[in-house]
Structure 1
């Protein structure tokens, strides 16, 4: 045991590596207990420890965090009218053109193969390696959203993992 930042910590040396040992499990369990968020304070100042309530606190926080309270487009119009346009008519036509199969494939293959897997656990490398099998389904789904304005409900789902930066966090900020 060694005192680090006011806490007793077990130092795991390279000798044991990350083998599936008792000490490894004790260390992992200790970290999980330290990082567990046991409750959050609501906007009304009440402590909520129910999982569904904490989900609602997260949704409320991030919904408000990513919204703009700035001026409306109508209020900005007089200022934007003074800005000289840089996009030509031809450029605008190209930007407004429907997306193509080629662009979907290029975007997928430009992704890092092992970053940001979807909630189903499939990283970009799966789609890249099995493109010959999944290309029609993936391309039609993506183009339906981009060109035909299909609903995004299922696509907009995400997994949020909160990483506490303070001991025993109670507030989202």
Structure 2
């Protein structure tokens, strides 16, 4: 049995310490891309990705977002944005103008609330929780607009073996392929090398959020 902590301040420190350690950076040798023949975009596609944001594409992104998402630090959701679009659209476009000029200077864009959600019905320790980031509404709008732009060029640069986050493909396909490869190795008596990743750290990592 572990120690049961009820004091909220102590519990907060324990939570922070646990996830800092869980997502801490480790030193390793990163592979280089030297010598790789990577796919590149045509000039017209690059220009389309870099063009100034239009009010039409911003509204399209807002219109296609769900209205019942949990709000972030700004306390707003898309229900508010949609209902008051005619009133706030100029302010929204001014924000996009600043983001286009130098998005790195908009520090408040990265403000988030980090919440813990249980992985199992009755969690009893910190390992039974997963942190999620509740970002602000404008962050979501920017992400959606950029996503819509990238969708137009994804097929030209994404390889056939990429399964996740691609329309008409499923991440489960990678699992099936891996099983088939292992099965062929076993049947043919061949050797091979596999890399097992910790998906909690490889995907949706909160290292930057926790450190900041």
The TM-score with structure 2 as length reference comes to 0.46
Q: 1:56 to 1:92 in 2, by over 3 A?
A: same
Question: Distance in 2 between the 1:77 and 1:145 partners?
Answer: 32
Cα distance, 1:68 vs. partner? Answer: 10
Residue deviations 1:7-27 (CA, integer Å, cap 9, x gap): xxxxxxxxxxxxxxxxxxxxx
Question: Distance in 2 between the 1:63 and 1:93 partners?
Answer: 37
Question: Distance in 2 between the 1:116 and 1:161 partners?
Answer: 11
Residue deviations 1:109-136 (CA, integer Å, cap 9, x gap): 1211222323333210111111111111
Choose from 107, 118, 124 the match for 1:168: 124
Q: Does 1:71 align with 2:26?
A: no
RMSD: 3.6
Cα distance, 1:107 vs. partner? Answer: 1.3
CA contact under 8 A between 2:53 and 2:96: conserved in structure 1?
no
Choose from 16, 38, 52 the match for 1:83: 38
Choose from 82, 95, 100 the match for 1:128: 82
Question: Distance in 2 between the 1:121 and 1:113 partners?
Answer: 13
Runs of 4+ off more than 4 Å: 36-39, 61-65, 67-70
CA contact under 8 A between 2:71 and 2:77: conserved in structure 1?
yes
Cα distance, 1:105 vs. partner? Answer: 1.9
CA contact under 8 A between 1:100 and 1:143: conserved in structure 2?
no
Cα distance, 1:71 vs. partner? Answer: 2.6
CA contact under 8 A between 2:5 and 2:11: conserved in structure 1?
no
User: Who is 2:107 aligned against?
Assistant: 153
Question: Distance in 2 between the 1:92 and 1:62 partners?
Answer: 38
Cα distance, 1:142 vs. partner? Answer: 2.9
User: Who is 1:101 aligned against?
Assistant: 55
SS in 1 for 2:95: helix
Q: 1:149 to 1:155 in 2, by over 3 A?
A: closer
Question: Distance in 2 between the 1:99 and 1:69 partners?
Answer: 39
Q: 1:170 to 1:128 in 2, by over 3 A?
A: closer
Larger Cα-atom Rg: 1
Q: 1:68 to 1:131 in 2, by over 3 A?
A: farther
Q: 1:55 to 1:147 in 2, by over 3 A?
A: farther
